[in-house]
Amino acid sequence: GPREQPVNTWVIETTGSFRSERLFLLVEINERAPKQTQYFRASEIYVKGADDMEQEELENLLDEEHFRIIGQNQSSEEYIVQLRDFSPNGLSQSIEMFESLPMVKQVRMSPWVPVSKR
d(C-alpha 84, C-alpha 91), whole Å: 9
Per the CB < 8 A criterion, the answer to whether 67 and 82 are in contact is: yes
Cβ neighbourhood burial of 78 (10 Å; 0-12, 13-18, 19+): buried
Residue-wise pLDDT for 25-68, tens only, equals 999 998 888 888 899 999 999 999 998 888 999 999 999 999 99
Q: What is the pTM of this model?
A: 0.81
Instruction: Please write the tens of the pLDDT for every residue from 66-109.
Output: 999 999 998 999 999 999 999 999 999 999 999 999 999 999 99
